[in-house]
Amino acid sequence: MTLATSASPSHIANLNLPALAAAVDFINVMCYDFAGAWADYTYFNAPLFFDPANPFSEPFHSGFNTDAALDAYIAAGVPRNQLVVGMPFYGVGFGNVNDTNNGLYQTFSGRSPSGTWENGYYDYWDLRQNYVNQNGYTRYYHPISHVPYFAQSYA
């Protein structure tokens, strides 16, 4: 038996994780959707690690990343061999982003006006085929969070 559960610090804090771990074979931690149209700034959909430069207040500042989520489950008593990381095969797009810092940690207004299946959401194949250093987009890699991301060129 398995359980799929959130990577959010507030969600993790409200679970009886030792009891859940005893009742299931695996706990699938959904380590994605850390950012979206609800956020105050552009951010990564699924960062592996915390970036001290991100402008969010706590718990979003240091708690919304894969490493922090897994550490919280382990600290609460879940054995490492029961944890499975859920990773996205899609990206999140933001609309009307300032070009400062290649669009990272900038204010925005809603979702991007395009997407694969709805505005602001892009399947992996679409990103790979239509956005990697083409059609006015540049691919970047964040060395601290270990995340690739795109920004529209503003030449």
The residue among 121, 70, 117 whose CA lies nearest residue 94 is 121
Helix (H/G/I), strand (E/B), else coil: 55? coil
Handedness of CA 112, 116, 121, 124 (dihedral sign): negative
Share of the chain above pLDDT 70, in %: 99
Answer whether 131's CB lies under 8 Å from 140's CB: no
In the numeric block, which tokens belong to residue 55? 């402008």
Q: What is the mean pLDDT of the chain?
A: 94
- Identify which of 49, 55, 63 has the alpha carbon closest to the alpha carbon of residue 13: 63
How many domains does the chain divide into? 1
Q: What is the dihedral of CA 146, 114, 95, 85, to 10 degrees?
A: -30
- b/e for 24-45, b at 16 or more Cβ within 10 A? eeebebbbbbbbeeebebbbbb
Kindly report, residue by residue over 78-126, the tens digit of the pLDDT: 999 999 999 999 999 999 998 899 999 999 999 999 999 999 999 999 9
Q: What is the separation of C-alpha 27 from the centre of its chain, rounded to a whole number of angstroms?
A: 18
Q: How open is the CA angle 68-22-2, to the nearest 5 degrees? A: 70
**pLDDT mean over 42-56:** 95
Pairing of strands 137-142, 2-6: unpaired
Domain that holds residue 118: 2-152
Instruction: Say what percent of the chain tops pLDDT 90.
Output: 88
The CATH number given to whatever domain includes residue 138 is 3.10.50.10
